[in-house]
Amino acid sequence: MLKPKLIVDGKRLDGRAFDELRPIKIEADVLKRADGSCYIEMGKNKVLAAVYGPRELHPRHLQDPSKAIIRYRYNMAAFSVEERRRPGPDRRSIEISKVSKEVFEAVIMKELFPRSAIDIFVEVLQADAGSRAAGINAASVALIDAGIPVKGIVTSVAVAKVDGQLVLDPMKEEDYYGEADLPIAFLIRNGKIESITLLQMDGRMTKDEIKRVIELAKKGVMEIYRLQRDAIMRKFMVEEDEG
């Protein structure tokens, strides 16, 4: 496969500017059985998140007497990618589940629920680069929908380097052919970015580039954060209307 030109006339393949997100749609409370849930579309990514808990943890010897255990399962549907994938966790899913779990370990007030489990399940129905970020963004809303106390909202996005240029929220071609990819998540509290909760990178960048990446990511997450907040607002307004 020949690498296509990814930047043409200062625009990206899908016509976006370098610092432009793909279209995003967020809806809270989309599942009945789960305690909290959220559906997100980020470009072609279509992702569901559900939260169950706090609930009893079995077997008992896994319980932590001082806090809740957070579990996170990132899973891709067999039909979510070009080539049908065999169901079940692969190494990539296991790693994403681990680092995403750690995001929420830092953010959930887990000391309030000793001996219990809080389960976060993310199902990727369609994937197109950035599904881990989409999952985290949805999970963050689902947690609030479930009424679980958190220190703030977590918002995630990736920044890539393609054809020497830093671009926000890369889609599949940019991820695949790009020189570097950096997914990141921030804790946002009272509308302000407070700290980094997820950080990974692969590719090749200078220290200077990385600093610019972080700035670009911060711009991106603030936009996503507003959409997360809106989704939560819409949900609670509906409830008040109904109440």
Q: Which residues bind its own copies (CB under 8 A)?
A: 58-59, 61
Alpha helix stretches (DSSP H) within 42-189: 91-105, 131-145, 172-177
Nearer to other proteins by Cβ, of 16 and 186: the residue is 186
What is the rounded distance in angstroms from the CA atom of residue 73 to the CA atom of residue 197?
A: 17
- Rounded CA-CA distance 155/141 in Å is 10
Residue written as token pair 């052919």: 177
Secondary structure (3-state) at 39: strand
Q: Which helix or strand (DSSP H or E) is residue 184 part of?
A: strand 180-189
Of its own copies, other proteins, none, which one does residue 74 interact with (CB within 5 to 8 Å by kind)?
none
61 binds, among its own copies, other proteins, none (CB under 5 to 8 A by kind): its own copies
- The DSSP bridge pattern shows strands 69-76 and 116-126 to be parallel
Residues 62-81 that bind other proteins (CB under 8 A): 70, 73, 75, 77-81
Distance of closest approach, residue 62 Cβ to its own copies, in angstroms: 10
Among 38, 69, 134, 198, the residue binding other proteins under the rule CB under 8 A is: 198
Q: Closest approach of Cβ 170 to other proteins, in Å? A: 16
Q: Is 5 or 86 the residue whose CB approaches its own copies more closely?
A: 86
- Token pair for 210: 């990385």
Interaction between residue 4 and other proteins (CB under 8 A): no
Q: How far is the CB of 55 from its own copies (least distance, A)?
A: 14
Q: Give the Cα separation of 50 and 29 in Å (integer).
A: 9
Cβ atoms 136, 154 nearer than 8 A: yes
Q: Which of the stretches 10-18, 19-27, 102-110, 233-241 binds other proteins when contact is defined by CB under 8 A?
A: 102-110
Name the minimum Å distance from CB 81 to other proteins: 6
Residues in the chain: 243
CA dihedral 127, 134, 160, 15 (to 10 degrees): 70
192 binds other proteins (CB under 8 A): no
Q: How far apart are CA 66 and CA 149, in angstroms?
A: 16
Tell me if 159 contacts other proteins by CB under 8 A.
Answer: no
Q: Which residues bind other proteins (CB under 8 A)?
A: 1, 31-34, 44, 46, 48-50, 52, 55, 70, 73, 75, 77-84, 87-89, 91-92, 94-95, 97-99, 101-106, 119, 121-123, 125-128, 180, 182, 187, 194-207, 210-211, 214
